[in-house]
């Protein structure tokens, strides 16, 4: 049986409900749910992984800022034409893996994964964003450093709602 070299940082189900993905700083693992058998593993020098909204893509940020995508069986599908800038704190894959959202200390940027083109930018003055959740469509929920959260329409770059909080962003948030 194959095990992690060190603790697993996170685990999640792929969209097929038959594959479990786990990772640590050294490796990305794909496991068969029914038997626990290791399907594939990939050496990694990164702890940034994202599951696509349909559950059929895993995206890995490499140490150099490159992005690689994998299918549910652990097969490397290719590299995305986007380089994640230094200082990026979070990334979310959305809209059937056609869009990628990146968060830095003062802005959120939306990228087209097929062309590598920057689609839109939302800039924040204060308080700064610390976490966000992307619906995969038009809506974006952002936790801010003062414990509040905001709901944005990405296409219109319009804030729809602000809730003063306090809200503990470490507990996570979900748009459905």
Among residues of the chain, what percentage have pLDDT more than 90? 1
pLDDT of 170 over the 50 cut: no
Q: Which residue has the higher pLDDT, 17 or 172?
A: 17
pLDDT score, position 176: 44
Region of 164 (left: φ > 0; alpha: ψ -120 to 50; beta: rest) is: alpha
The answer to whether residue 156 scores a pLDDT higher than 70 is: yes
φ/ψ of 76, rounded to 5, equals -70, 120
Res 103 pLDDT > 70: yes
Give pLDDT tens digits for 110-127. Answer: 888 878 888 888 877 666
According to the model, what pLDDT value does residue 87 have?
A: 67
Query: Strands of 107-112's sheet, edge to edge?
Result: 90-94, 99-103, 107-112, 118-123
Q: Is 87 exposed, middle or buried (0-12, 13-18, 19+ CB in 10 A)?
A: exposed
pLDDT tens digits along 129-149: 767 776 656 667 677 777 777
**Whether the model pTM is above 0.85:** no
pLDDT in tens, 27-44: 888 889 899 898 988 886
Question: Hey, what are 96's tokens?
Answer: 């059937």
């Amino acid at each position: 049986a194959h095990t992690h070299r060190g603790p697993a940082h996170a685990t999640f189900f792929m969209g097929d409900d038959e594959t479990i993905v786990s990772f640590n700083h050294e490796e990305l693992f794909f496991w068969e749910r029914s038997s626990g058998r290791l399907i594939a593993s990939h050496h990694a020098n990164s702890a940034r992984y994202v599951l696509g909204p349909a559950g059929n893509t895993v995206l890995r940020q490499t140490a150099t800022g490159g992005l690689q995508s994998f299918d549910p069986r652990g097969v490397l599908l290719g590299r995305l034409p986007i380089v994640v800038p230094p200082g990026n704190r979070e990334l979310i894959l959305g809209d059937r893996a056609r869009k990628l959202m990146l968060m830095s200390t003062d802005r959120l940027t939306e990228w087209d994964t097929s062309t590598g083109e920057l689609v839109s930018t939302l800039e924040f003055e204060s308080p700064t964003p610390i976490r966000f959740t992307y619906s995969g469509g038009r809506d974006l929920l952002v936790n801010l450093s003062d414990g509040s959260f905001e709901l944005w329409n990405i296409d219109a770059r319009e804030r729809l709602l602000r809730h003063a909080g306090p809200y503990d962003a470490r507990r996570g948030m979900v748009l459905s």
